[in-house]
């Protein structure tokens, strides 16, 4: 299964566990790709596009994937796909062998029966002496400790774990990060899960929260996302707890989450807390307090200087406030006032455009988009979205001239050299017309990888060769070599030679 290399080993293993638990739901495969729902403490929507039978792009609605990482929910859906195509059965590594498992259990039963009590006691003493975590777990099994003592034990376990991996200098390097993350996952998936089963909800919540602060205070080189994965599991643990606790404990959890918005947590961890407040606590008892909190957080955004951060966080809070206000018609005036006050946020204008589209007020939608192009001119990603929306409205309303004009704006200005927009624009002209029209693009856009793809599609091999030869490094020659090597073998060989000589100068020394 070639897709496995897209994930870390730990993510693949967790995805396989999810697949085996049968929580991949609504699974379907089309020509375009794969779609599935993974049902855990929450429902996560996974979409995976396929190109020539291989995995291309993946998305998931979970917090871990929102940071651009490949998550265990994606892996679970891919295991379901592999099972359907027969790849899973052909791969012994991931095949479930119940016979072997049952055989191992029987072997363990026999060993325990054969051993006398003194041998078992001696062996158990050795294990508990050598392993702090198993010592504390055994204490919890044998003794009836109160929650405070048990929480202290878990804190000692976590502190010992951090010291084991970080040592005196307090830093966990990348070689240890994966194993450390597995240890934390085990505590969540075994110890905390057991506490939830025993209905020790407050203790389970406290242990998960302490683990969150361990992550927050940790110095670790986890460039492959191990810490994000653990944070994702903490988020899921919170979700499981909220499904089980009564209103009193839920209020305590709500108060705790609100208390963590004081700036102590790192931004990426605070985002998990924010998402919990946004996605949960929908009962009437929390709505008023949540509305007050959201409005307060929104008001704080005015003081943030960084435009991107103000837009990202302010827009998020604004949408939540609007969602709460819109549930009650009596809030209509307040909703209008809030909309006017925070019109500078792109998220607010996006909602306004959606409302205009819903009632087919295309003129007003276009006016808002034009205003947005001016207000957000320093944010290229938003400009592309606005320009694309305008193009779709012109297409919807049958305004061919404006539609073509907007395509030109996308290709030359807002999404310079975008291949899809280029192809769409090309379709608006005859073959004879396009030979002349495309020159406007080549005149106004500097050579780039996007423009090189256009050269490739149009069969302009002389221009493609010039671009490849003049580009530093090997990336472009490797990208377009198959298109050029038949007609220009000498030129490509000379390019390779030049790059080799350049590299040799940098890497050589007196020896």
Cβ neighbour number for residue 214 with a 10 Å cutoff: 18
CA distance 388 to 411: 11
Does 16 or 100 have the greater pLDDT score? 16
Contact 389, 402 (CB under 8 A): no
Q: What is the pTM of this model?
A: 0.56
Task: Determine the pLDDT at residue 261.
Answer: 85
Helix (H, G, I), strand (E, B) or coil at 138: helix
Cβ neighbour number for residue 349 with a 10 Å cutoff: 22
Token digits for 396?
A: 């919807």
CA distance 427 to 406: 14
**Would you say residue 147 has pLDDT above 70?**
no
pLDDT digits (tens, 9 = 90+) for 488-504: 999 999 999 999 988 88
Backbone angles phi, psi at 39, to 5 degrees: -100, 105
Task: Determine the pLDDT at residue 361.
Answer: 95
Task: Determine the pLDDT at residue 23.
Answer: 83
Supply angle C-alpha 479, 481, 485, rounded to 5: 170
Backbone angles phi, psi at 426, to 5 degrees: -60, -35
Backbone angles phi, psi at 460, to 5 degrees: -90, 75
Does 493 or 180 have the greater pLDDT score? 493
CA-closest candidate to residue 46, choices 79, 94, 17: 79
Does 371 or 41 have the greater pLDDT score? 371
CA dihedral 82, 83, 89, 91 (to 10 degrees): 30
State the burial class of residue 75 (Cβ atoms within 10 Å of its Cβ: 0-12, 13-18, 19+).
Answer: buried
Task: Determine the pLDDT at residue 307.
Answer: 63
pLDDT digits (tens, 9 = 90+) for 298-335: 777 766 666 666 666 677 777 777 776 666 666 778 77
Task: Determine the pLDDT at residue 92.
Answer: 47
pLDDT digits (tens, 9 = 90+) for 210-256: 999 988 988 888 666 778 888 989 999 999 999 999 999 999 999 99
Token digits for 122?
A: 């001696």
Task: Determine the pLDDT at residue 332.
Answer: 75
> pLDDT over 90 for what percent of the chain?
33
Contact 242, 261 (CB under 8 A): no
CA dihedral 133, 138, 140, 142 (to 10 degrees): -170
Strand duo 24-29 + 171-172: pairing: unpaired
Contact 394, 406 (CB under 8 A): yes
CA distance 195 to 192: 5
Cite the DSSP H helix spans in 217-331: 226-244, 247-259, 267-279, 284-300, 307-326
CA distance 281 to 292: 14
**Would you say residue 98 has pLDDT above 80?**
no
Average pLDDT of the chain is 84
Place of tokens 């959606």: 354
**Would you say residue 112 has pLDDT above 50?**
yes
Element spanning 219, H or E: strand 219-220
Cα 151 to chain center, whole Å? 31
Task: Determine the pLDDT at residue 221.
Answer: 81
CA-closest candidate to residue 286, choices 312, 318, 320, 236: 320
Cα 77 to chain center, whole Å? 15
CA distance 58 to 68: 9
What is the pLDDT confidence band of residue 431, given thresholds at 50, 70 and 90? Answer: very high
pLDDT digits (tens, 9 = 90+) for 193-218: 989 998 999 999 999 999 999 889 88
């Amino acid at each position: 299964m070639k897709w496995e290399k897209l994930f870390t080993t730990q993510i693949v293993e967790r995805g396989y566990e999810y697949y085996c638990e049968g929580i991949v739901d609504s699974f379907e495969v089309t020509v375009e790709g794969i779609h599935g729902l993974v049902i855990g403490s929450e429902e996560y929507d996974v979409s995976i596009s396929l190109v020539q039978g291989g995995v291309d792009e993946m998305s998931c609605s979970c917090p871990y994937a929102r940071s651009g990482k490949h998550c265990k929910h994606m892996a679970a859906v891919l295991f379901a796909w592999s099972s359907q195509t027969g790849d899973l059965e052909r791969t012994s590594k991931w095949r479930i062998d119940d016979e072997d498992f049952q055989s191992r259990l029987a072997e363990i039963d026999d060993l325990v029966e054969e051993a006398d009590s003194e041998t078992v006691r001696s062996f158990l003493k050795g294990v508990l002496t050598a392993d702090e975590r198993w010592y504390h777990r055994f204490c919890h099994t044998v003794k009836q400790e109160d929650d405070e003592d048990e929480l202290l034990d878990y804190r000692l376990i976590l502190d010992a774990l951090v010291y084991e991996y970080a040592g005196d200098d307090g830093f966990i390097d990348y070689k240890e990060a994966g194993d450390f993350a597995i240890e934390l996952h085990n505590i969540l998936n075994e110890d905390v899960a057991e506490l939830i089963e025993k209905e020790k909800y407050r203790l389970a919540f406290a242990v998960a929260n302490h683990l969150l602060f361990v992550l927050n205070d940790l110095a670790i080189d986890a460039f492959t996302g191990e810490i994000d994965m653990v944070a994702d599991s903490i988020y899921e643990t919170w979700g499981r707890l909220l499904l089980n606790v009564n209103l009193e404990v839920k209020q305590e959890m709500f108060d705790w989450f609100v208390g963590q918005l004081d700036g102590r947590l790192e931004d990426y961890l605070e985002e998990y807390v924010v998402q919990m407040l946004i996605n949960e606590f929908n009962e009437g008892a929390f709505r008023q307090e949540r509305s007050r909190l959201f409005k307060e957080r929104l008001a704080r955004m005015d003081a943030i200087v960084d435009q991107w951060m103000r837009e990202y966080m302010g827009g998020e809070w604004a949408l939540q406030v609007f969602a709460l206000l819109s549930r009650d018609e009596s809030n209509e005036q307040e909703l209008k006032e809030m909309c006017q006050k925070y019109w500078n946020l792109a998220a607010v204008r996006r909602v306004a455009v959606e409302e205009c589209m819903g009632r087919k007020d295309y003129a007003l939608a276009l006016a808002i988009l034009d205003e947005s192009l001016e207000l957000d001119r320093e944010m290229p990603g938003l400009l592309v979205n606005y320009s694309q929306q305008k193009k779709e409205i012109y297409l919807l309303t049958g305004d061919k001239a404006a539609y073509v004009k907007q395509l030109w704006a996308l290709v030359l200005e807002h999404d310079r050299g975008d291949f899809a927009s280029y192809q769409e624009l090309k379709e608006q002209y005859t073959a004879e017309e396009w030979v002349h029209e495309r020159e406007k693009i080549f005149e106004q856009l500097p050579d780039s990888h996007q423009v090189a793809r256009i050269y490739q599609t149009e069969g302009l091999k002389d221009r493609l060769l010039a671009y490849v030869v003049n580009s530093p490094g090997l990336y472009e020659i490797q990208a377009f070599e198959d298109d050029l090597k038949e007609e220009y073998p000498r030129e490509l060989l000379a390019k390779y030679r030049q790059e080799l000589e350049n590299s040799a100068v940098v890497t050589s020394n007196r020896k």
